[in-house]
Amino acid sequence: MDIARTPTTPDGNPEMADAAFEPAQPPVIHRKDYAPFPWLLPATHLEFALGVEHTRVVSTLQIERNPAAAASAHILLNGDGLTAVSVRVDGQETSDWEMEGDNLRLNLSGDAHEISITTEIEPSANTQLMGLYASNGMLCTQCEAEGFRRITFFPDRPDVLSTYTVKMTGPKADFPVLLSNGNKAAEGDNGDGTHWAEWHDPWPKPSYLFALVAGDLVANTDSFTTVSGREVDLAIYVRAQNDGGDLDRTGHAMRSLVKSMKWDEEVFGREYDLDVFNIVAVSDFNMGAMENKGLNVFNTKYVLADPETATDGDFDGVEGVIAHEYFHNWSGNRITCQDWFQLSLKEGFTVLRDQLFSQDMQGEAVKRIEDVRILRSVQFPEDSGPLAHPIRPDSFREISNFYTATVYNKGAEVIRMMRTMCGPEAFRKGTDLYFDRHDGEAATCEDFITAMEDGAGLDLTQFRLWYSQAGTPKVAVDLTHAGDTATLTLRQTVPATADQPGKKPMPIPLKIAMFDRVSGQHSGEQLIVLKTDEQSFNFEGFAEKPILSINRGFSAPVTIERDIADEDLVFLAARDDDPFARYEAMQDLVVGHLTAASGNGLDDSARGTGRLAIAQAFEAVLSDDMLDDSMRGELMMLPGLTFLMEQQLVADPSRIHEEREGLKAWLGARFEDTLVTLHQRVSAVPYDQEATSRGARKVKTQALVYLAAGNSERASQIAAAQYHAADNMTDRQGALMVLTGLGTAARTDTLIDFHRRYAGNELVVDKWFALQASSLHPNAIEHVKALAQHKDFTIRNPNRVRSLYMAFAGNPHAFHAVDGEGYRLIADLILELDPINPQTAARFVSPLGRWRRIEPGRADLMRAELERIKAAENLSRDTFEQVTRSLG
């Protein structure tokens, strides 16, 4: 499952001070307490009488005792807000059952039974968008992690695997298309205006992978022939009644699917295993997408794309998420998780797989930088805050709060480190062994690690600490020189986190290169592994102290702390042959300067010296004819405010923003003519989706960003001209992004034109909201308030809510307004949204939870808003848990 590319924060729930308002809390679940379910479910049959207002569900379960589990005289079936209409055992109505909270406990004496339970649900009333719910007249499901229990009573846990047969009946006019997992077995017309379809999935799966979609849909179809000759029918469905041309925007998604299927065969040896693969695009969806076996349900954001409505980033997002969910067919479906503590087994591994795929499709250098930027902006703050947890935690309360950047992104980095240590070929041997050993099983992270040891020849005994310890390791670097020998001394620390005050050293693989100062070259890249608290490495053959390039390719998810001269950073930023290391040097140069300037402050002389060093590196980036524009665009980007705030124990957002904007304006003014010339050059590159054209558009936007800071009037004219001349969304959105931060007439004119031009296109209107909420305009808060009252805003659609409020929460200069108005806006949203969609509401708590890292005045205001949320009556378990953990 993809969490809309912005994974959520983890769980935890201290006691509440005022018990009068405390919601009923689920018990703490501990990994050590795992026990197999007492019953096996060889087969599950589901019958649905479908309706938007009312749906009747009859579930028939074939069960038998599990010889690997302790015997039980009953079976406990999970439910959430359900009422059993009837319960039958072996064909006979029974009353030998009772409710335990939301769950149904049924007493059983024999070794094998057939259980049949009828429930009735109301999809149109399901605003949580979990289970079976209605969206624009269609019915769809989302069952991960515990949504299936909102459909029928069932052992809703990932280690209970069953084959499913699903029969759906409904009005043909309302639901002409009936889809479920697996292959279609039969269909028919009842002659009374209703029709039916039956689907069968031959591969045992857990309930979280169940899917059903019914509606008035049209499809883009294609086919794929697997390596063994299986012909697979492919279809991407969208709503037929949407007059926005959605079907025409599915071509890129279909091409991405075909490329994913071919790539997985070639790189990981994984072949698809059903006769059909279906994708359905849904506009009301909490997540990014869901990997249900054979029937992926997607947020429209990650399906629909064409040049007029989608940016280059949108095209990449579609391709990456399509690949991610398809790759889950093996890393998540054929091998699933024993329990939810093992979530990173499927998500971390699959994120790495989609990253490697995207590297091959888009280019390794820029893709690696983009992945690290996400890790640092989302996961590093998680690791250093009150919600820190290992990628395989030992306990949790609310599973919906468990889908985090740590589980997904850091989980991918941990597996990537294994690949770095053994190499791609040995890594493939390890993954082949994992797939062969555990196909058809509910596995654990330990199973994966053991397979990598046995298949790739690694000793991962100490490496297992990466799975059990929270926090981002810090590696202090000291390089000395004597005679012809350079000595590199590394010291690692793993910071204490809430539940883990003491940490052990972990193996940290670091790719390095030593540049000779005379020749400006290095003799080759090396891999060293730091395994202890402190370790030294000697390198001979240097007449003088070399320049160190370290953590090349971001070989380990750590923070490097090094005392390195600005002139050496300028050298690396201009000449390092590792793209990530070059980017890192540029970032370090800017981060060091802005951290010093916004911390203790710099006098005019020191500020000038720092800016000149940055300008020297910046000029090298602008003038390097050997540099492709995609990489040039990355090197031009300044570190984001959130990342800069993370560099200080206590940050003042206003000072950091002021210094960052001051540097940007200085660079924009200093290089104004060069930037205008650069903008003119790349504007001449015609539009397509090839690397050269994409790189040109990235540079074009970055040039505008600096020009707007240095000469707003000139930038406004250039941006307005770019906006109106644009033949693609990347250029149009880039120009509008710059204009939204300026107080010019062109800003108002283009915002009006953009909304008029794309009225009715939900995804593009989302962009319109997000651009204004994330802008540098001094009145951004007032703009957000006004937009919340706009006729196109609805709190019931997660995409629309995220487009306005998550964009605002990620806009530090506005969110951290000194009077606390930004905090109040987000707190008010949480309180309004929580009764409607608690899962989405809970994800907005994290920005407020960073109060410990903010200067005291603002910190008090942030904490007060958390206390206000906590005191609210009838707060959901999702939000309550996040708030109490954030308060500590």
- Number of structural domains in the chain: 5
50 and 196 co-located in one domain: yes
**Mean predicted lDDT score pLDDT of the chain:** 95
253 and 198 co-located in one domain: no
Domain region containing 882: 759-888
223 and 186 co-located in one domain: no
* Residue 520 falls in which region: left (phi positive, over 0), alpha (psi -120 to 50) or beta: left
In a domain, 608, yes or no: no
In a domain, 578, yes or no: no
- Could you tell me where the DSSP H helices lie in 197-310? 251-268
Q: Is 113 exposed, middle or buried (0-12, 13-18, 19+ CB in 10 A)?
A: middle
Mean pLDDT calculated for residue range 619-624? 97
| Among candidate residues 301, 282, 278, the one with its CA nearest the CA of residue 291 | 278
CA 535 to chain centre: 35
Residues 6+ apart with CB under 8 A from 825: 781, 784, 785, 805, 808
Last residue of a domain, one of 337, 370, 393: 337
* Residue 363 falls in which region: left (phi positive, over 0), alpha (psi -120 to 50) or beta: left
In a domain, 268, yes or no: yes
pLDDT of residue 244: 60
Catalytic residue among 47, 198, 291, 325: 325
Confidence band, pLDDT 50/70/90 cuts, at residue 7? very low
| Among candidate residues 655, 666, 670, the one with its CA nearest the CA of residue 594 | 655
144 is known as an active-site residue: no
524 and 446 co-located in one domain: no
Q: What is the 8-class DSSP label of residue 851?
A: G
pLDDT of residue 18: 37
Confidence band, pLDDT 50/70/90 cuts, at residue 785? very high
Confidence band, pLDDT 50/70/90 cuts, at residue 3? confident
At residue 243, does pLDDT exceed 90? no
In a domain, 30, yes or no: no
- Give the rounded percent of residues in the chain with a pLDDT score beyond 90: 95
pLDDT of residue 402: 86
Q: CATH no. for residue 840?
A: 1.25.50.10
In a domain, 522, yes or no: yes
349 and 320 co-located in one domain: no
345 and 319 co-located in one domain: no
Q: CATH no. for residue 325?
A: 3.30.2010.30
Confidence band, pLDDT 50/70/90 cuts, at residue 6? very low
In a domain, 66, yes or no: yes
246 and 205 co-located in one domain: no
Query: pLDDT tens digits, residue range 359-402?
Result: 999 999 999 999 999 999 999 999 999 999 999 999 988 988 98
Q: CATH no. for residue 363?
A: 1.10.390.10
418 and 481 co-located in one domain: no
Last residue of a domain, one of 536, 556, 576: 556
Mean pLDDT calculated for residue range 773-789? 97
Query: pLDDT tens digits, residue range 805-848?
Result: 999 999 999 999 999 999 999 999 999 999 999 999 999 999 99
820 and 852 co-located in one domain: yes
- Name the CA dihedral angle for 89, 92, 95, 99, rounded to a multiple of 10 degrees: 30
What spatial distance separates the first Cα and last Cα of the chain, rounded to whole Å? Answer: 30
Q: Is 664 exposed, middle or buried (0-12, 13-18, 19+ CB in 10 A)?
A: middle
In a domain, 877, yes or no: yes
- CA dist 709 and 715 (Å) reads 8
Burial 573-592 (b: 16+ CB within 10 A, else e): bbbbebbbbbbbbbbbbbbb
- CA dist 564 and 587 (Å) reads 13
Mean pLDDT calculated for residue range 341-355? 98
Mean pLDDT calculated for residue range 793-801? 98
253 and 396 co-located in one domain: no
pLDDT of residue 22: 59
Mean pLDDT calculated for residue range 297-317? 98
In a domain, 736, yes or no: no
At residue 16, does pLDDT exceed 50? no
355 and 229 co-located in one domain: no
Query: pLDDT tens digits, residue range 271-289?
Result: 999 999 999 999 999 999 9
- CA dist 483 and 424 (Å) reads 38
At residue 63, does pLDDT exceed 50? yes
pLDDT of residue 600: 81
Last residue of a domain, one of 318, 337, 356: 337
- CA dist 593 and 590 (Å) reads 5
- pTM of structure: 0.97
185 and 62 co-located in one domain: yes
Query: pLDDT tens digits, residue range 565-597?
Result: 999 999 999 999 999 999 999 999 999 999 999
Mean pLDDT calculated for residue range 216-220? 97
Query: pLDDT tens digits, residue range 245-277?
Result: 899 999 999 999 999 999 999 999 999 999 999
Q: What is the SS3 assignment for 196? A: strand
| Among candidate residues 186, 168, 166, the one with its CA nearest the CA of residue 176 | 168
